[in-house]
Amino acid sequence: MLATHNLKFLDLTLKMKGIQKVIDFDVNENLICSKNIQMRQLLWACPSNAAEIRIWRDESAKALPMVENGTFQFEEQFPTSFDGHVKSVLVPTVDNIDLYESKDDLPYVATTPVPSLGLVHEVYKRGFETGTPNHLVKHMLQLNAMSLSNHGETLLMQSGQYRAFNQHIPRKKYITQDDFDYINENLDGSLIMFTARVENMNINSGLIAEGMPSVTSIGGFVHMLERETFQNINFAIGVKSVQIHEGKKRYVDQSRKNKTNAKNVLSSVRGTVNETTGTVELVLLLKTNSLPGSDKAKALIHYLETKRLRIAGGSVWDQFVMAENLDEYQFIDVKWLYSPASFQDKIDQYFADNEQIKVIQTTKENEKVSFERKPDILDCAIKLNQTFEKGKAFSINSNGYIFLEEPKERNGLRTNGYNHAFSEVCFCPVVVSNDVDFSHLFWKRHSDQNSVYWL
């Protein structure tokens, strides 16, 4: 079939068809998704098995000019049978939980995030088309060339590889007395700082960004706290250090070269990488509407101090909570993750200075073609990623989900009775900074009938 989204891009063992759906409603202009970027190819060959790849690649080639001139008739296609290994996440579809009497009344949607093939391919290609050195890292998703067709046309054209934005962590900053005074003025009893060492934490953000935990994973953890204490919580994400683990695959060496007596010993080799993990010294600053010393504030502190926690798939160690004893010295050597609102002026300036950008593409005949086109938010994110600014590092991060369909009841998925919808992971430009700016420090959830995201 021809698809715009496909789960088999990540895992060829899944027995599921792709999705053909074009987002036909407006989304926030700062979100990086298939709706807000210009994609060179929208429909991709996603056969059920590798034997049909040639047939569907011919179909995608026929559809390409029709999509460009607007004559292609799209059909909404979603899987009708589901693989038992497909995962779903439960997301709240409400901004203010104070409107409900109890946590059992909160509305949820079970959603399965599916990568946008066009978006993944644009990130893979654009780093080399701006004429400047790129700061994107390359990973191998499939080593075996014979298996590429099982993933679909996109990974086949990318030779089993993908590229991701790499989030750099700025160096330490010398804190001045003015900085201390500013922090001290903005500290109040509603702030709670949670610090911990998180091991084997997933720091791969929707495949095309890495180096920092995703906003969606932290947002899910914070909502768990909201649900347990039944109060609205905004959060700030900070890190003291991030140590990335090398991706490795483990296999049983059954070859004749294995001279040991252990034919069943697992050997570790560097191979395909579809998840990046690491050890993170995490700092979360939680902001509630509860009064200091109230029952809800005490319940939140008690939960963080006593429960066994997991954040972004990682195990939490050395957790520590500070509330009334929180002071400006706890902000030393913390790098904070900011939303695009903190540098909206840079985004606006980019589009003001670049009504058209020059693009250099290579054709199938290895000929370079140069042309100009209108820039989009992904171009802006790549340009910011190449920007060196003292104490700051720009990248992108996954910050929510855009529903590809109206949530409905489905059987065969692990949804626990909730309505289900397939969704596309959306991203936004971010910056990691040494500076503390309380006016833009906190992330807040935004929910509507079409999406759930944090900004």
CA angle 240/235/305 to nearest 5° reads 75
Predicted local confidence at residue 336, as pLDDT = 95
Mean pLDDT score of the chain: 87
Q: How far is CA 236 from the centre of its chain?
A: 17
Length of the chain: 455
Query: CA 46, CA 18: separation in Å to the nearest integer?
Result: 6
Q: Check residue 361 and report its DSSP letter.
A: E
Query: CA 164, CA 220: separation in Å to the nearest integer?
Result: 23
Strand order through the sheet with 209-210:
136-140, 161-166, 209-210
**Confidence band of 212 (pLDDT split at 50, 70, 90):** very high
Burial per residue of 266-280, b for 16 or more beta-carbon CB atoms within 10 angstroms, e otherwise: eeeeeeebbebbbbb
Predicted local confidence at residue 259, as pLDDT = 53
This prediction has a pTM of: 0.90
CA angle 345/371/23 to nearest 5° reads 60
What is the pairing mode between strands 161-166 and 209-210?
parallel
For residue range 410-447, list pLDDT tens digits in order.
887 777 789 999 999 999 999 999 999 999 999 999 99
Predicted local confidence at residue 268, as pLDDT = 42
Q: Take residue 81 and report the two structure tokens written for it.
A: 């049978």
Query: CA 358, CA 449: separation in Å to the nearest integer?
Result: 37
For residue 305, count other CB atoms closer than 10 A to its CB: 11
Any alpha helices (H) in 193-308, and if so which ranges?
215-229, 295-306
Q: Is 132 a residue whose pLDDT tops 70?
A: no
For residue range 341-356, list pLDDT tens digits in order.
999 999 999 999 998 8
Query: CA 109, CA 414: separation in Å to the nearest integer?
Result: 12
Predicted local confidence at residue 196, as pLDDT = 96
Q: Is 256 a residue whose pLDDT tops 70?
A: no
CA angle 301/334/183 to nearest 5° reads 75
Query: CA 124, CA 341: separation in Å to the nearest integer?
Result: 26
Predicted local confidence at residue 237, as pLDDT = 97
SS3 252: strand
Long-range contact pairs involving 298-305 (C-beta distance under 8 Å, separation at least 24): 299/228, 299/229, 300/192, 300/225, 300/229, 300/231, 300/233, 301/192, 303/225, 303/228, 303/229, 304/192, 304/194, 304/225
The highest-confidence range among 71-85, 298-312, 352-366, 409-423, by mean pLDDT, is 298-312
Give 261's contacts (C-beta < 8 A, 6+ positions apart).
none
- Show the 3-state SS of 380-404: HHHHHHCCCECCEEEEEEEEEEEEC
